[in-house]
Amino acid sequence: MRKILFYLVIAALVVSGRLFGAETITLQQSLQRVIDTYPSLRVAELQLQRARQQNARVESQLGWTLAGSGGYARDTALGIGAPLDRADIAASLQRKLASGASVGLDAGYSRDDASDTFSPLIPNPSDVTDVGLSWRQPLAKGLGNPQYKQGLVSAEAEVNIAEADRRTLHDSLARQVADLYYSAALTQANIKNAAQALDRARRLKKYLQDNAGLGIAEETDLLQAEAQLRTRIAERRALRVAWEQQRTNLNRLMGRDWNAEFNPAPAASMVPLAGNFDAMFEQVENHNPDLMRNRAQVVIADAAIGLKRDAHKDDLDVVFSVGNRTTTGDVDITGGNIDESELIGGVRLEYSRALDRRGLDAELYQAQLDRDIASQEIKTLQHDLRYNLSGLLAEIEASRAALSSFRARLVSEQRKFEEAIQRYRTGRTTTEDLIRFESDLFLAEITVEQQAIELARRHTDLDVLRGIIWESIAPLNPDVPAYSRPMRGKR
């Protein structure tokens, strides 16, 4: 039996990291290892980078567009039906400006060669070269280029949605890691306490065995001590099973070997929280992914409303053009050639109106509903977050007070147990009372560890809620901060 107890104590020491130099890992170190290895986080980074490309796509609307055409045709000359060979080539550069206006540069060349002409004064063959500049200015629909401006706004909102998704994944993972970490820390603490209780039970049994040899201990006392010892052994084995599972799960997230030992080192702060409620709530609002996502949805809906309202307007454009046309060719009546160059230009007004606007009305109403839905979600989230923060702060204060009380109780239980041992040695108390006092001490030790870890867990929950849990963690992509600056949308 003594050998069995010896090996159990050795095993407990191994688990607690006292042998073989098991690594001590803080929660922040655990999160850093998860950031460095967890594949889903890299997907979120790529999604964010993808969203940032939307802005470049919108900016490209103001880029130049080059167009060109050319060809050859066999036709008949107008009026006389004579065969006509025509070759032409044209090119244009077009660009839409941020103001909504469009500017264009056009150039073209054509050559006509007919077997006969309607008049000897008409050059044949003839070459015509056109160069012109045009300006289109919208007066109603498209004025101010809302498609471009609202597109930029929507692109920024899409980036914020991707950032919100990234934060959601980070926070979910932080909660998962913290839950595993603190559960493992509690299991480690319980294993340590179980080892201490096992040692007390072993010493009590040995004391009773010595007394039995002297004829001053009853068989019932030995059976009680043996039962307590077996209980402590069973408790330790159950804790060992829990530790194996928790260690494996946490090592998987951290990218370590499944059986790599480590010591969790949670820190329960007894220092009152700094900062007032309003300052903390502002942090919570600025960080919360759901709020960020809904604020971005409001911005996107506002952009859509602006576009739909613009689509309701009539098309009314004024177009200015100016250029030069050069005509060269042979003239039969003179036996010579002509070379004429003229300045050409004009102005025209273009108008169009959609007679059936039911589709536009429906799209506008849908965009307004989207905005109302997102706005209501924001109000609901703000209300819930205020209650969540208030409740969490109250839990932290209550947990801190409870921990202080349980620590005081632990001191009392230790003194009570030590005093019981002294009275037991002088025959002033029973074995049953001594075992009960030892159980009270064991329960007090476990309760203190539980309260300390729960306090640390609640502090971590608060850090996640405020968005500061990742502040000391190096980001996966050094070019991207742990959290991008939140969008300041309407509240």
Give per-residue pLDDT as tens, 119-175.
666 677 788 999 999 999 999 998 989 999 999 999 999 999 999 999 998 899 899
Query: Do residue 133 and residue 152 come from a single domain?
Result: no
Domain assignment present for 244: yes
Domain assignment present for 57: no
If one compares 228 and 390, the residue with the highest pLDDT of the two is 390
Q: What is residue 361's predicted lDDT score, i.e. its pLDDT? A: 87
Q: CA 285, 287, 290, 291 torsion: positive or negative?
A: positive
Query: Would you state the structure tokens that stand for residue 432, as one six-digit string?
Result: 């049953």
Domain assignment present for 481: no
Q: How far apart are CA 34 and CA 28, in angstroms?
A: 10
Domain that holds residue 339: 65-96+101-139+315-352
Q: What is residue 283's predicted lDDT score, i.e. its pLDDT? A: 92
Query: Do residue 266 and residue 283 come from a single domain?
Result: yes
> Residue 483: which of 30, 475, 293 has the closest Cα?
475
Query: Would you state the structure tokens that stand for residue 32, as one six-digit string?
Result: 């850093």
Domain assignment present for 229: yes
Query: Do residue 162 and residue 228 come from a single domain?
Result: yes
Q: Tell me the average pLDDT of the chain.
A: 82
Q: CA 393, 394, 400, 406 torsion: positive or negative?
A: negative
Per-residue pLDDT at 242 exceeds 60: yes
Per-residue pLDDT at 488 exceeds 60: no
Q: How far apart are CA 116 and CA 360, in angstroms?
A: 55
- For residue 467, what is the DSSP state? T
Question: Facing residues of 91 across strands?
Answer: 68, 107
Domain assignment present for 310: no
Query: Do residue 282 and residue 240 come from a single domain?
Result: yes
Domain assignment present for 157: yes
Q: What is residue 378's predicted lDDT score, i.e. its pLDDT? A: 94
Q: What is residue 316's predicted lDDT score, i.e. its pLDDT? A: 92
Average pLDDT of the segment spanning 255-259: 84
Q: How far apart are CA 468 and CA 174, in angstroms?
A: 11
Q: CA 392, 394, 397, 402 torsion: positive or negative?
A: negative
Query: Do residue 271 and residue 321 come from a single domain?
Result: no
Q: CA 187, 191, 197, 202 torsion: positive or negative?
A: positive
Q: How far apart are CA 139 and CA 101, in angstroms?
A: 9
Domains of the chain: total: 2
Per-residue pLDDT at 13 exceeds 70: no
Query: Do residue 89 and residue 198 come from a single domain?
Result: no
How crowded is the C-beta side of 152, counted as CA atoms within 13 Å?
A: 9
Per-residue pLDDT at 14 exceeds 80: no
Query: Do residue 135 and residue 152 come from a single domain?
Result: no
Domain assignment present for 358: no
> Residue 150: which of 58, 49, 60, 50 has the closest Cα?
58
If one compares 205 and 440, the residue with the highest pLDDT of the two is 440
Look up tokens 């998987």; give the residue: 252
Look up tokens 């790599």; give the residue: 260
- At 388, the pLDDT band (50, 70, 90 cuts) reads very high
Question: Which residues, including other chains, have CB under 8 Å from residue 252's CB and lie 6 or more apart?
Answer: 258
Look up tokens 């820390």; give the residue: 185
Q: What is residue 332's predicted lDDT score, i.e. its pLDDT? A: 62
Q: How far apart are CA 173 and CA 154, in angstroms?
A: 29
Radius of gyration of the chain, Cα coordinates, nearest whole angstrom: 42
Q: What is residue 108's predicted lDDT score, i.e. its pLDDT? A: 93
Output phi, psi for 258, to 5 deg: -60, -30
Query: Do residue 179 and residue 70 come from a single domain?
Result: no
> Residue 204: which of 424, 441, 457 has the closest Cα?
424
> Residue 182: which of 170, 194, 174 has the closest Cα?
174
Query: Do residue 344 and residue 390 come from a single domain?
Result: no
- For residue 239, what is the DSSP state? H
Q: How many CB atoms lie within 10 A of CB 435?
A: 20
Average pLDDT of the segment spanning 355-369: 87
- At 457, the pLDDT band (50, 70, 90 cuts) reads very high
**What's the chain's length in residues?**
491
Q: What is residue 94's predicted lDDT score, i.e. its pLDDT? A: 93
Is residue 159 within 8 A of residue 54, CB to CB? The reply is yes
Q: How far apart are CA 139 and CA 320, in angstroms?
A: 13
Domain assignment present for 59: no
- At 461, the pLDDT band (50, 70, 90 cuts) reads very high
- At 256, the pLDDT band (50, 70, 90 cuts) reads confident
Q: What is residue 11's predicted lDDT score, i.e. its pLDDT? A: 44
Q: Which of 109-113, 115-119, 304-308, 467-471 is predicted most confidently? A: 304-308
Per-residue pLDDT at 54 exceeds 90: no
Query: Do residue 273 and residue 384 come from a single domain?
Result: yes
Per-residue pLDDT at 349 exceeds 60: yes
Query: Do residue 133 and residue 158 come from a single domain?
Result: no
Per-residue pLDDT at 12 exceeds 90: no
Look up tokens 């969540």; give the residue: 388
Query: Do residue 388 and residue 291 come from a single domain?
Result: yes
Q: How far apart are CA 93 and CA 8, in angstroms?
A: 85
Q: What is residue 210's predicted lDDT score, i.e. its pLDDT? A: 66
CATH code assigned at 229: 1.20.1600.10
Give per-residue pLDDT as tens, 301-341.
999 999 999 988 899 999 999 999 988 877 765 556 777 88
**What's the pTM?**
0.75
Per-residue pLDDT at 18 exceeds 50: no
Per-residue pLDDT at 478 exceeds 70: no
Average pLDDT of the segment spanning 196-207: 74
